Each structure stands twice: as structure tokens, then as C-alpha cells.
Amino acid sequence: MKTFAIGELSRQAAVKVPTIRFYEERGLLPRAARTEGNRRTYNPADVRRLRFIRHARELGFEIEDIRALLDLAEQPDRPCGEVDAIARRHLTDIDDRLARLNGLRAEIHTMLEQCAQGHVRECRIIEVLADHRECLHEHH
């Protein structure tokens, strides 16, 4: 089996070396085999796993969800209900964040519309930021 060093893994998976070490420390990527000179060595399965992790992170999945998805991926004959549940939970989180962001956007938009473009002492934006009760939307 072909093996390669951490730099090559980094290049092939488009992930920085410190990130690889981080994923190893978190148990998402197995500890690398070592050469006699104590250098880490990786194989094509590590590349596939690291690409999976990178893509899941790009989609916003949390580390624990990625860990669960990796565990499930290693059991190809299982029903995919647990995978669906993880993805649905993540989608709900995304929808919640989008709703909060839309509320924040509306709040900032309203503050800008109410600003008279005068002096800071009369600035509606400063007033709203200074007193949360002036906000039109709940956005904690």
C-alpha cells in the first residue's frame, strides 16, 4: 500500500498540516503510523477520510456529528436513519441561524433607515445600540 508524509496528505486533501494534527487529537483521523525516524505516514484511506471531514466541516457540521457520521460510514449495511437524523438536526440549526441573521439584518436596516444622518449625539444607531429595549426584533 502506498504511504506518504503529512505534507502530501495536506496537499491531497487540501487541509493544512495543523488541521490534520487537530483532527488526529480529536480522534476524527486515526493516529498516523510512524516510520523508524518517527515521521507520520498516511495512506489513501486517510486521504478519503480527511476529505470527508473537510467537506463536512465546510457544510458546517460540528465535530461530534462528524464523528458519528464517520462511525456510521464504516457500517455500510446499516439503515441510514441515524445519518438522516444528524443531517436534519443540522438543517434545523441552519434554519434557526438564518432566521436570527434575517432578524439582525432587519434590525440594522431599520436602524439605518431611522438615522437622520445628523450628528452622533442624535444618531438612532447609537441610541439603539446603547439601549437594547429600543430594538424591534429579539436577536440574542
What global pTM score does this model have? 0.79
Total tally of structural domains belonging to the chain:
2
- Quickly state the pLDDT bin for 104 (edges 50, 70, 90): confident
Residue-by-residue DSSP string for 25-47: HTTSSPPPEE-TT--EEB-HHHH
| Sign of the CA dihedral running 38, 31, 46, 60 | negative
Asked whether residue 137 falls in the same domain as residue 106, the answer is: yes
Instruction: Give pLDDT tens digits for 77-103.
Output: 999 999 999 999 999 999 999 999 998
Asked whether residue 56 falls in the same domain as residue 97, the answer is: no
Domain that holds residue 14: 1-61
Give me the count of residues in the chain: 140
Asked whether residue 137 falls in the same domain as residue 83, the answer is: yes
pLDDT at 119 over 90: no
